[in-house]
C-alpha cells in the first residue's frame, strides 16, 4: 500500500478538519524535476503538470490538446452507425426532425448543436424542452404526440431517453423513428429504438463515458458530416464548420461537471478559443448582460453563464436557453439574455431561503456530532427547480452525499449530489430496482429522483446501509492537496498566466491549490451574500487579497475573523480580479490553519 503524501506545512488538521498534503509523492517530484531539466519548464509549472499525472514526454501534448489528436472515430460508440444513417436519411429526404432535450445547460447546448446543424442542412426541425414541473425529466407521451402532429417523423433525444421505454413505445405507434444521444448511466435493458448512442451503455466499449451529452452529439455530427460529404450532399451548399460549434460543447462540458481530461479537455480548450471570437450572438449577449470581464474561462462557464441558462429550466421557460443559443437577431438575443439574468436573480433568492431551511433540517437530523453517511432533507413548498443547487450546498457544508426533495402532496421530486468516491447514480438505480423510488437515475456525482412521501424513511435507511462504508472511506482519505507554497509577493499576474497553460481546470483536472505560509490577517469581514473578504500580509510586507465564497458564517470564516492580527496558513487557488477595469491577483480561499509556531 503506497504511503500517503507528506503533510504540507505540517497541517494535520485545518480549521475545516482536514490534513494538507503535498499533491506530489516521490514519483511525482521526480516527474517534475525531469520536466524542468529535460524540457526547461519552470519549476512551478512542472509541479502543476506532474501533479496531474503528466510525464516529461507528455508535457508538450498536454499543453496543447487538439481535437484531431484526441478524438477517435465516432463509430467506436455502440449504435453510432445506425444513428448516423438514420439522420442522414432524414436530411437527404428533408424530413421534419423533432429534438427533445433536457432542461439544463447540457440539454440546451445539445439541442442547439443538433438544431444548428440541421438548419445548415436546410432541414425543418422542432425543439422541445420539457417543463421541469409539469412534464418532468425526459421524453413523455403527450409531448411526443404533439411533435408527431407537427409532422415530425424522426425524434432525436439529447441528454435524455436512455430509460424512456413507454414514451418510445408511443413514438413507434405514431410512426416515428427514435435516435437517442445521451450519456446517463444505463440499465442492462434498453428501450427499443432505431439507435441509442450512449457511451455509458453497459455494452459500449468506446471508453468515452466521460463525455457529456453535447460531446456525444458533437461526435454524432462529425460522423454525420463525413457521411453526407461522401454522398456529395455539400455540393450545393456550404459545409458547416463543426469546430466553430465547440463553444456549445465547452459550455455543456463545464456546466455538467464532466471531467476535463483527454477529449473533454480538448473540447473545452478549443471551445473557449471559439468563444473569444464572440461569434455566437446569444452567448455574447449573456456575457455582456452578466458583466463578465476578461477572456472566457471555465469559471465564467460554470458560475456565470451556466447558472443563467439553467435559470430558465429551473424557474421559468425551459426553452429559453436553447432559444438564446440559436438566435442571430441581436435585439432578441439581448432581450432573452436579460430575461435569463432576471430569472437567475429570482432563483438565487428562492435558493437562499431553501438552503437555510435545509441546513436547519440537516443539523437536526445529523445531531451535534453530525453522525450519518448521507443527508436527506425534504419539505413541502420548496421549488423543484432549486433542489439540486440546495443539495450541492448541503454536500459542501456537511462533506457527505446529500439529497434535497421538494414535496407536493404524496410525491416528492429531488436531486442528490455526491462526494468523490461515492457513486450516487448506482445507489439510486438500486433503490429504483428495490421499489423504494418511483423513478430515478443520474451519474456518480449527481442524481435525480421521484419518491412517494411515505417512503422517505426507507430511502434514508437504504442509503445509510448501502453507502456508509464508501462515505467513511472517502472522508477518511479526504485531504486538501497543495501544489506549492507561495508568498503574497510571488502571486503576480504573469505567474497565473503561466499556470493557466496547464488548464483549463475543473473536474478531473483540478485547479492548482497554493499555500501561503504564516500570512498575518490584517482585515477580514463579510461581504455580499455571506462571502468572506480577507487581506493578509507576508513577512516582507507584501499583501494579498482573498475571498471565500459563502464561508463567512461557516467554520472557515469564523476562524479567520477570530484571527485578525495573527498569522495563519492560507490555502486556495489564484485568479485575476478584473473588477473596475484594473487587474489584481485574488486568492480564492479554500482553507486555513494555525501555524504550529505561534511566534511567527
Give 141-184 as a DSSP string: HHHHHHHHHTTEEEEEEES--TT-HHHHHHHHHTT-EEEEE--S
Task: Give pLDDT, residue 30.
Answer: 95
Q: How many CB atoms lie within 10 A of CB 560?
A: 25
CB 202 within 8 A of CB 186: yes
d(CA 362, CA 378): 10
d(CA 62, CA 217): 24
d(CA 587, CA 263): 30
CB 206 within 8 A of CB 72: yes
Q: Report residue 4's pLDDT band, with 50, 70 and 90 as the boundaries.
A: low
Cα three-residue angle 87-90-91, rounded to 5 degrees: 90
pLDDT in tens, 35-58: 999 889 999 999 999 999 999 999
Q: Is the dihedral of CA 351, 356, 359, 361 positive or negative?
A: negative
Q: Is 298 exposed, middle or buried (0-12, 13-18, 19+ CB in 10 A)?
A: buried
Q: Which 8-state DSSP code applies to residue 510?
A: P
d(CA 147, CA 143): 6
Q: Is the dihedral of CA 54, 58, 62, 66 positive or negative?
A: negative
pLDDT (average), residues 60-72: 95
pLDDT (average), residues 543-562: 94
pLDDT (average), residues 67-90: 97
**Residue partners of 171: CB distance under 8 A and separation at least 6:** 139, 144, 148, 155, 177, 178
Q: For 345-397, where are the E strands, in sequence order?
A: 375-380
CB 325 within 8 A of CB 285: no
* 3-class SS shares of the chain: helix, strand, coil, % to 5: 45, 20, 35
Say what the pTM is. 0.91
Using the predicted structure, report yes or no on whether residue 133 has a pLDDT greater than 90: no
Q: Which 8-state DSSP code applies to residue 506?
A: B
Do the strands 567-577 and 514-527 form a parallel or antiparallel pair, or are they unpaired?
antiparallel
The architecture in CATH of the region 20-51+483-593 reads Beta Barrel (2.40)
Task: Give pLDDT, residue 369.
Answer: 65
pLDDT (average), residues 151-168: 96
Using the predicted structure, report yes or no on whether residue 580 has a pLDDT greater than 70: no
Q: Report residue 467's pLDDT band, with 50, 70 and 90 as the boundaries.
A: very high
CATH number of 367-468: 3.10.310.30
pLDDT in tens, 84-127: 999 999 999 999 999 999 999 999 999 999 999 999 999 999 99
- Using a pLDDT cut of 70, give the percent of the chain over it: 98
Task: Give pLDDT, residue 294.
Answer: 85
d(CA 337, CA 302): 17
Using the predicted structure, report yes or no on whether residue 213 has a pLDDT greater than 80: yes
Nearest to 389 by CA among 347, 343, 340, 450: 347
pLDDT (average), residues 26-40: 93
pLDDT (average), residues 427-440: 94
The end-to-end CA distance of the chain, in Å, is: 37
Which residue has cell 413505445? 169
Using the predicted structure, report yes or no on whether residue 598 has a pLDDT greater than 70: no
Task: Give pLDDT, residue 597.
Answer: 57
Task: Give pLDDT, residue 134.
Answer: 86
pLDDT (average), residues 581-597: 88
Using the predicted structure, report yes or no on whether residue 480 has a pLDDT greater than 90: yes
d(CA 308, CA 315): 11
CB 199 within 8 A of CB 208: yes
d(CA 591, CA 579): 24
The domain segmentation of the chain, as residue ranges, is 20-51+483-593, 70-243, 367-468
**Residue partners of 3: CB distance under 8 A and separation at least 6:** 25
Average pLDDT, the chain: 94
CB 246 within 8 A of CB 138: no
Using the predicted structure, report yes or no on whether residue 582 has a pLDDT greater than 90: no
**Residue partners of 401: CB distance under 8 A and separation at least 6:** 373, 374, 375, 395, 416, 417, 418, 419, 422, 424, 463, 467, 471
Q: Report residue 368's pLDDT band, with 50, 70 and 90 as the boundaries.
A: low
Task: Give 3 or 434, the one with higher predicted confidence.
Answer: 434
Using the predicted structure, report yes or no on whether residue 297 has a pLDDT greater than 50: yes
Lowest mean pLDDT among 24-28, 407-411, 422-426, 575-579: 575-579
pLDDT in tens, 255-271: 998 999 999 999 999 99
d(CA 87, CA 115): 12
Q: Report residue 443's pLDDT band, with 50, 70 and 90 as the boundaries.
A: confident
Q: Report residue 599's pLDDT band, with 50, 70 and 90 as the boundaries.
A: very low
d(CA 139, CA 166): 9
- Using a pLDDT cut of 90, give the percent of the chain over it: 86
Nearest to 225 by CA among 213, 214, 239, 238: 239
The architecture in CATH of the region 70-243 reads Alpha-Beta Complex (3.90)
- Can you spell out the DSSP letters for 5-26? PPBSTT-SS-TTS--EEES--H
Backbone φ and ψ for 75, nearest 5 degrees, come out as -70, 0
Exposure on the CB side of residue 460, measured as CA atoms within 13 A? 14
Which residue has cell 408527431? 148
Same fold, 20-51+483-593 and 367-468: no
Q: Report residue 3's pLDDT band, with 50, 70 and 90 as the boundaries.
A: low
Lowest mean pLDDT among 70-74, 208-212, 311-315, 533-537: 311-315
Task: Give pLDDT, residue 301.
Answer: 97
Most confident among 316-320, 331-335, 437-441 (mean pLDDT): 331-335
Q: Report residue 70's pLDDT band, with 50, 70 and 90 as the boundaries.
A: very high
CB 7 within 8 A of CB 469: no
Show the cell assigned to 361. 433540517
Amino acid at each position: 500500500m503506497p504511503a500517503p503524501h507528506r503533510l504540507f506545512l505540517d497541517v494535520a488538521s485545518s480549521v475545516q478538519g482536514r490534513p494538507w498534503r503535498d499533491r506530489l509523492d516521490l514519483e511525482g517530484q521526480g516527474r517534475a524535476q525531469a520536466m524542468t531539466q529535460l524540457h526547461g519548464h519552470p519549476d512551478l509549472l512542472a509541479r502543476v503538470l506532474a501533479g496531474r499525472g503528466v510525464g516529461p514526454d507528455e508535457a508538450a501534448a498536454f499543453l496543447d490538446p487538439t481535437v484531431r489528436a484526441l478524438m477517435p472515430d465516432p463509430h467506436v460508440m455502440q449504435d453510432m452507425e445506425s444513428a448516423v444513417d438514420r439522420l442522414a436519411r432524414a436530411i437527404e429526404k428533408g424530413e421534419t426532425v423533432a429534438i427533445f432535450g433536457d432542461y439544463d445547460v447540457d440539454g440546451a447546448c445539445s439541442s442547439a448543436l443538433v438544431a444548428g446543424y440541421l438548419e445548415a442542412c436546410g432541414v425543418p426541425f422542432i425543439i422541445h424542452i420539457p417543463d421541469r414541473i409539469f412534464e418532468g425529466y425526459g421524453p413523455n407521451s403527450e409531448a411526443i404526440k404533439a411533435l408527431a402532429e407537427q409532422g415530425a417523423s424522426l425524434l432525436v433525444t439529447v441528454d435524455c431517453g436512455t430509460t424512456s421505454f413507454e414514451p418510445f413505445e408511443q413514438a413507434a405507434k405514431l410512426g416515428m423513428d427514435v435516435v437517442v444521444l445521451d450519456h446517463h448511466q444505463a440499465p442492462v435493458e434498453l428501450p427499443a429504438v432505431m439507435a441509442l448512442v450512449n457511451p455509458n451503455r453497459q455494452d459500449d466499449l468506446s471508453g468515452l463515458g466521460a463525455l457529456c451529452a453535447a460531446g456525444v452529439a458533437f461526435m454524432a455530427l462529425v460522423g454525420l458530416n463525413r457521411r453526407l460529404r461522401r454522398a456529395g450532399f455539400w455540393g450545393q451548399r456550404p459545409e458547416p464548420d463543426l469546430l466553430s460549434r465547440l463553444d456549445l460543447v465547452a459550455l455543456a462540458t463545464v456546466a455538467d461537471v464532466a471531467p476535463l481530461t483527454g477529449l473533454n479537455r480538448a473540447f473545452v480548450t478549443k471551445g473557449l478559443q471559439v468563444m473569444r471570437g464572440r461569434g455566437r450572438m446569444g452567448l455574447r449577449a449573456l456575457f455582456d448582460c452578466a458583466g463578465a470581464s476578461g477572456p472566457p474561462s471555465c469559471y465564467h462557464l460554470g458560475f456565470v453563464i451556466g447558472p443563467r441558462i439553467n435559470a430558465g429550466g429551473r424557474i421559468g421557460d425551459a426553452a429559453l436557453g436553447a432559444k438564446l443559443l440559436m438566435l442571430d437577431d441581436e435585439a432578441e438575443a439581448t432581450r432573452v439574455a436579460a430575461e435569463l439574468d432576471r430569472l437567475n436573480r429570482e432563483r438565487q433568492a428562492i435558493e437562499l431561503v431553501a438552503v437555510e431551511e435545509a441546513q436547519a433540517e440537516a443539523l437536526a437530523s445529523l445531531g451535534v456530532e453530525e453522525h450519518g453517511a448521507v443527508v436527506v432533507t425534504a419539505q413541502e413548498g420548496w421549488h423543484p427547480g432549486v433542489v439540486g443547487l440546495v443539495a450541492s450546498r448541503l454536500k459542501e457544508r456537511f462533506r457527505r452525499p446529500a439529497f434535497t426533495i421538494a414535496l407536493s402532496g404524496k410525491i416528492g421530486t429531488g436531486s442528490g449530489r455526491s462526494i468523490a468516491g461515492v457513486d450516487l447514480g448506482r445507489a439510486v438505480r438500486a433503490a429504483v430496482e428495490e421499489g423504494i423510488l418511483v423513478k430515478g437515475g443520474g451519474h456518480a456525482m449527481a442524481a435525480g429522483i421521484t419518491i412517494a412521501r411515505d417512503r422517505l424513511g426507507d430511502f434514508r435507511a437504504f442509503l445509510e446501509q448501502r453507502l456508509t462504508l464508501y462515505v467513511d472511506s472517502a472522508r477518511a482519505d479526504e485531504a486538501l492537496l497543495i501544489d506549492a507554497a507561495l508568498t503574497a509577493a510571488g502571486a503576480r499576474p504573469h505567474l497565473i498566466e503561466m499556470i493557466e497553460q496547464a488548464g483549463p481546470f475543473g473536474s478531473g483536472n483540478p485547479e492548482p491549490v497554493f499555500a501561503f505560509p504564516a500570512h498575518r490577517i490584517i482585515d477580514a469581514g463579510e461581504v455580499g451574500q455571506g462571502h468572506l473578504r480577507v487581506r493578509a500580509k507576508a513577512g516582507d510586507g507584501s499583501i494579498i487579497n482573498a475571498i471565500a465564497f459563502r464561508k463567512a458564517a461557516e467554520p472557515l470564516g469564523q476562524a479567520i475573523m477570530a484571527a485578525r492580527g495573527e498569522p495563519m496558513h492560507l490555502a486556495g487557488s489564484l485568479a485575476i480580479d478584473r473588477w473596475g477595469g484594473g487587474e489584481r491577483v485574488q486568492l480564492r480561499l479554500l482553507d486555513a490553519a494555525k501555524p504550529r509556531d505561534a511566534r511567527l
